[in-house]
Structure 1
Amino acid sequence: MTIEEYAIEQSGLESKFHNPIEELNKLIGAYGLTPNQSKVYLYLSKIGTKTASEISKNLKIPRTETYHLLNSLEQKGVVYSIFGKPTKFESVDIEKAIDILIRNEKNRVSEMESKKEHIVKLWKTIPNHGKTDSEAEENKFQSLQGKNSILARLQKMIQDSNEEVLVLGTEEDFMKFYHTEFTEYLKKCKGDLKVLTTYTNKGNYIFDDVPLEKIKKIEDKNRENFCFIIKDDDEVIFFINNSIIDNVMAIWTDSKSFVSTLKSLFKLVWKKSNHIKESDASKILGSEITYEHRLREIEQEKRILSYLQKNFKMNKKGVTKK
């Protein structure tokens, strides 16, 4: 019996329904295991002690590969062998296994950090070839895939900021970064931090650590189509598929025209928005805004959006400058 068949039998699910083993394989993969390593570990953890031949047969993995997988799992400390003829294999308890894998990953990261200085020094000893000053000054566009790459770029932007950091997006946009150091990075901003967000009772916990005086509430729901973070007049992270939680994607660029255009949009929305504590009062004051004034604002926004559409092609794969 395979681990998938075992899981379906024990849970009473039919094969057409979701198999929890598939989800477990994905989750455990985040702790440094390959799909087949996860499959072997989960098989042993639920089926019990087995030989390599039994594992190979039941999981339909070639015997040679099965031995390699078992050896690697032993090295990671989540599987151990029982001497005999033939040798049998048994798994470590799931909670202990997760603790071991976390410790392994921490040790791996520490080792990477310890080598950083040596790598940078070694890199500096190699002369540049073929890179001209004009090429170095060109506007750069970089695709950021996943929360980790976005957070790494954001951290660098915050560290380098001198004047201000501007953040615009809905709570739903930033909810993807809950349980990360996202707000910790924002708090370390040396310049002026300004946050424009929807800030509802349902999701205001996202910015719990950010002082309320630095946050304004977006009343205009049309702004929900945009999500970006600007550093000074130099850089911007622009999110391009905010609706997909498991596949967060963004574009980083130092294009002056792109940064200044989004900054103009931010300042326009910031000017007509109110701080959180002023939101209720704004409903009364809002009636004093003239029809002509609102028309001018809309026209200015249209010019900004037209610029973005004219100069940049945006799609799910990224942003391409025309």
Structure 2
Amino acid sequence: MSTTHEITLFDNDSETELYKHKITLERIKNELISFGLTANQSKVFIYLGKYGSKSASEIAKALQMPRTETYHLVNSLQNMGLVTAELVHPTKYSAMEMKQAIETLVKQEQQRINTLAGKEESLSKLWKEVPFFVVETDESKSEKMQLLHGMGPIINKIKEMTETSTDSIKIYGSIPDVLRLYHSDVFDWIDESSSELQMVISPLSKTPEFISEIDSKKIRAITSDSDKKCFIINDAKEILIFMRNANHATRQTFAWWSDSETLVDMMSSLFDLSWEKGDSLY
């Protein structure tokens, strides 16, 4: 007697009709992961959302997962408020609508952030109660570096740089890089500081609308194919270099921060040379 295998949205190949859906659902799965779900939680949620009410054994069979792990996954999704259980035997599980699920995840994250923010004062107070045991020495200041992963930590670092800036902020990048900084309010922070902005855009084939909001005297454009370079220099004392810039997805972006005097001087020279060779926008 032959058995039929249910084709799921996660195991079809390029020759099946479902392949176009697989690509889309893989994107949805990755987005759900960014909201805090694991890869397997995302698969179970998507499966229930597209195949309807299923038992744990049906889910395990369709997604080729161990049954014990499947029970754990549906229970965790229940705890997160993304899945409901029907009082039948065997128990059937259903996923809520995607819009409602995202709203639930966002609210949970906001509550978590509010809880953490509420602990800020008490934790700072406890921290101050413990004395420092640093021994003062005559050694020169050591240079520091920091690797930042994802636009969240990177933008926070840029905000720190603008808040401490007193003289100048120099930005070198492509249009996508500058556009990402614009949408992250970086230029608003610079306006609020006492520092002067200088920006070199490479290459500039078409002037985006947001550029018109910035004083054209602060911008130079150069003809170059080096659109992978993006860095920010603050007061000639610290630099943030994008190792993976706006050509990559937000979560894949990497940046390297350092207060190395040698590195800052070298990159400042590169910026100043580009500024001198650059053309005014108008």
Give TM class, smaller chain: 0.7 to 0.9
Aligned equivalent of 1:234: 237
Aligned ranges 1:114-193 → 2 under 5 Å? 114-129=118-133, 133=137, 137-177=141-181, 179-193=183-197
Per-residue deviation, 1:129: 4.5
In structure 1, C-alpha distance between the alignment counterparts of 2:51 and 2:109, rounded to whole Å: 27
- Taking structure 2 as the reference length, the TM-score comes to 0.83
Aligned ranges 1:269-308 → 2 under 5 Å? 269-277=274-282
**Higher helix share goes to which structure?**
1
Distance 1:260 1:179, change over 3 A: same
- Taking structure 1 as the reference length, the TM-score comes to 0.74
Aligned equivalent of 2:110: 106
Letter of the 1:90 counterpart: S
Aligned equivalent of 1:253: 258
Instruction: Decide whether the 8 Å contact of 1:29 with 1:38 is kept in 2.
Output: yes
Aligned ranges 1:208-227 → 2 under 5 Å? 209-219=213-223, 221=224, 224=227, 226-227=229-230
Per-residue deviation, 1:69: 1.7
Q: Mind listing any 5+ residue stretches in structure 2 that lack a counterpart?
A: 1-5
1 or 2 for the larger relative contact order (CA 8 Å, sep ≥6)? 2
Aligned ranges 1:39-118 → 2 under 5 Å? 39-118=43-122
Distance 1:256 1:33, change over 3 A: same
Instruction: Decide whether the 8 Å contact of 1:50 with 1:90 is kept in 2.
Output: yes
Q: Does 1:37 align with 2:41?
A: yes
Distance 1:193 1:243, change over 3 A: closer
Instruction: Decide whether the 8 Å contact of 2:203 with 2:225 is kept in 1.
Output: no
In structure 2, C-alpha distance between the alignment counterparts of 1:103 and 1:203, rounded to whole Å: 38
In structure 2, C-alpha distance between the alignment counterparts of 1:64 and 1:225, rounded to whole Å: 47
Per-residue deviation, 1:43: 0.7
Per-residue deviation, 1:131: 6.3
In structure 2, C-alpha distance between the alignment counterparts of 1:86 and 1:229, rounded to whole Å: 59
Q: Secondary structure at the match of 2:166?
A: coil
Matched-pair identity in %: 31
Instruction: Decide whether the 8 Å contact of 1:147 with 1:177 is kept in 2.
Output: no
In structure 1, C-alpha distance between the alignment counterparts of 2:113 and 2:235, rounded to whole Å: 31
Q: Secondary structure at the match of 1:74?
A: helix
Q: Mind listing any 5+ residue stretches in structure 1 that lack a counterpart?
A: 278-322
Q: Secondary structure at the match of 1:252?
A: strand
Q: Secondary structure at the match of 2:90?
A: coil
CA RMSD of aligned residues (A): 3.0
The more displaced of 79-88 and 264-273 is 264-273
Per-residue deviation, 1:149: 1.8
Instruction: Decide whether the 8 Å contact of 1:2 with 1:59 is kept in 2.
Output: no
Instruction: Decide whether the 8 Å contact of 1:183 with 1:209 is kept in 2.
Output: no
Per-residue deviation, 1:159: 0.8
Per-residue deviation, 1:139: 0.3
In structure 1, C-alpha distance between the alignment counterparts of 2:213 and 2:149, rounded to whole Å: 26
